[in-house]
Protein backbone atom coordinates (compact mmCIF):
# COMPACT_ATOMS: atom_id res chain seq x y z
CA UNK A 1 0.00 0.00 0.00
CA UNK A 2 2.81 2.39 0.90
CA UNK A 3 4.57 1.87 -2.45
CA UNK A 4 1.28 2.35 -4.30
CA UNK A 5 0.70 5.67 -2.58
CA UNK A 6 4.26 6.80 -3.30
CA UNK A 7 3.66 6.46 -7.02
CA UNK A 8 0.84 8.98 -6.88
CA UNK A 9 2.25 11.40 -4.34
CA UNK A 10 5.94 11.63 -5.17
CA UNK A 11 7.58 14.56 -3.45
CA UNK A 12 4.49 15.38 -1.40
CA UNK A 13 3.83 14.79 2.27
CA UNK A 14 0.78 12.67 2.82
CA UNK A 15 -1.04 14.57 5.51
CA UNK A 16 -3.85 12.03 5.47
CA UNK A 17 -1.64 9.48 7.19
CA UNK A 18 0.08 10.69 10.40
CA UNK A 19 3.79 9.93 10.45
CA UNK A 20 3.85 8.89 6.79
CA UNK A 21 5.76 10.88 4.23
CA UNK A 22 7.02 10.10 0.79
CA UNK A 23 9.68 12.01 -1.07
CA UNK A 24 11.65 11.32 -4.20
CA UNK A 25 14.63 10.26 -2.10
CA UNK A 26 12.70 7.79 0.06
CA UNK A 27 10.25 6.41 -2.49
CA UNK A 28 11.45 3.49 -4.60
CA UNK A 29 10.01 4.32 -8.00
CA UNK A 30 10.33 1.67 -10.71
CA UNK A 31 12.57 3.60 -13.07
CA UNK A 32 15.09 1.95 -15.30
CA UNK A 33 18.66 3.21 -14.80
CA UNK A 34 19.68 1.29 -17.92
CA UNK A 35 18.99 4.48 -19.88
CA UNK A 36 21.94 6.23 -18.24
CA UNK A 37 24.19 3.23 -18.86
CA UNK A 38 23.28 3.39 -22.55
CA UNK A 39 23.81 7.17 -22.67
CA UNK A 40 27.28 6.72 -21.19
CA UNK A 41 28.14 3.91 -23.62
CA UNK A 42 26.91 6.03 -26.52
CA UNK A 43 28.96 9.00 -25.35
CA UNK A 44 32.02 6.74 -25.21
CA UNK A 45 31.38 5.76 -28.83
CA UNK A 46 31.27 9.46 -29.77
CA UNK A 47 34.55 10.14 -27.96
CA UNK A 48 36.28 7.09 -29.45
CA UNK A 49 35.09 7.96 -32.94
CA UNK A 50 36.22 11.57 -32.59
CA UNK A 51 39.68 10.42 -31.48
CA UNK A 52 39.83 8.13 -34.51
CA UNK A 53 38.73 11.02 -36.75
CA UNK A 54 41.53 13.14 -35.32
CA UNK A 55 44.02 10.34 -36.01
CA UNK A 56 42.63 10.01 -39.53
CA UNK A 57 43.26 13.71 -40.19
CA UNK A 58 46.75 13.58 -38.68
CA UNK A 59 47.78 10.32 -40.40
CA UNK A 60 46.40 10.25 -43.91
CA UNK A 61 48.66 7.33 -44.78
CA UNK A 62 46.56 5.13 -42.42
CA UNK A 63 43.26 6.63 -43.47
CA UNK A 64 41.46 3.33 -44.15
CA UNK A 65 42.25 1.90 -40.72
CA UNK A 66 40.98 4.98 -38.89
CA UNK A 67 37.95 5.29 -41.15
CA UNK A 68 37.04 1.68 -40.35
CA UNK A 69 37.38 2.41 -36.62
CA UNK A 70 35.09 5.44 -36.92
CA UNK A 71 32.53 3.32 -38.77
CA UNK A 72 32.78 0.57 -36.14
CA UNK A 73 31.98 3.07 -33.40
CA UNK A 74 29.12 4.46 -35.47
CA UNK A 75 27.60 0.99 -35.90
CA UNK A 76 27.98 0.28 -32.19
CA UNK A 77 26.24 3.57 -31.41
CA UNK A 78 23.42 2.75 -33.85
CA UNK A 79 22.78 -0.47 -31.93
CA UNK A 80 22.69 1.50 -28.68
CA UNK A 81 20.23 3.96 -30.22
CA UNK A 82 17.92 1.13 -31.28
CA UNK A 83 18.28 -0.48 -27.86
CA UNK A 84 17.31 2.80 -26.18
CA UNK A 85 14.25 3.28 -28.37
CA UNK A 86 13.15 -0.32 -27.79
CA UNK A 87 13.62 0.13 -24.03
CA UNK A 88 11.72 3.41 -24.19
CA UNK A 89 8.71 1.66 -25.73
CA UNK A 90 8.78 -1.01 -23.01
CA UNK A 91 9.25 1.28 -19.99
CA UNK A 92 6.27 3.06 -18.48
CA UNK A 93 8.07 5.21 -15.89
CA UNK A 94 11.33 6.62 -17.21
CA UNK A 95 13.95 8.74 -15.43
CA UNK A 96 13.36 11.54 -17.96
CA UNK A 97 10.40 12.38 -20.16
CA UNK A 98 9.97 9.94 -23.06
CA UNK A 99 10.34 12.72 -25.64
CA UNK A 100 13.51 14.02 -23.99
CA UNK A 101 15.11 10.56 -23.98
CA UNK A 102 14.24 10.08 -27.64
CA UNK A 103 15.57 13.53 -28.56
CA UNK A 104 18.79 13.00 -26.59
CA UNK A 105 19.65 9.60 -28.07
CA UNK A 106 18.80 10.60 -31.65
CA UNK A 107 20.83 13.81 -31.33
CA UNK A 108 23.77 11.82 -29.98
CA UNK A 109 23.39 9.44 -32.92
CA UNK A 110 23.31 12.35 -35.37
CA UNK A 111 26.76 13.42 -34.14
CA UNK A 112 28.24 10.11 -35.26
CA UNK A 113 26.26 10.04 -38.49
CA UNK A 114 28.09 13.11 -39.79
CA UNK A 115 31.53 11.56 -39.26
CA UNK A 116 33.07 9.80 -42.28
Decide if 32 contacts 94 (C-beta within 8 A): yes
Which has more pLDDT, 7 or 83?
83
Q: Is 58 in the same domain as 16?
A: no
Q: How many domains does the chain have?
A: 2
Judgement on whether residues 1 and 58 belong to the same structural domain of the protein: no
- pLDDT of 31 reads 54
pLDDT average, residue stretch 66-85: 96
Question: Rounded CA gap, 13 and 6, in Å?
Answer: 10
Q: Are 52 and 84 in contact (CB under 8 A)?
A: no
For residues 26 and 36, state if they share a domain: no
Domain containing 18 equals: 1-30
* 102 lies in the same domain as 68: yes
Looking at the structure, tell me whether residues 45 and 102 fall in a common domain.
Answer: yes
Give long-range contacts, CB 8 A cutoff, 24+ apart: 3-6.
3/27, 3/28
Cα distances from 81 to residues 24, 54, 95, 103, 108, in angstroms, run 28, 24, 17, 11, 9
Residues 9 and 60 in one domain: no
| 96 has a pLDDT exceeding 50 | yes
Same domain, 37 and 11: no
pTM: 0.72
Same domain, 67 and 98: yes
In sequence order, the 6+-apart residues with CB closer than 8 A to the CB of 104 are: 39, 96
- Note the pLDDT of residue 11: 40
Amino acid sequence: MRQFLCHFYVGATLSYFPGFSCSVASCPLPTDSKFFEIFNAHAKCIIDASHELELLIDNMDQMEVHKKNVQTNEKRADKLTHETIDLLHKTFITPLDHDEIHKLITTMDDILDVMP
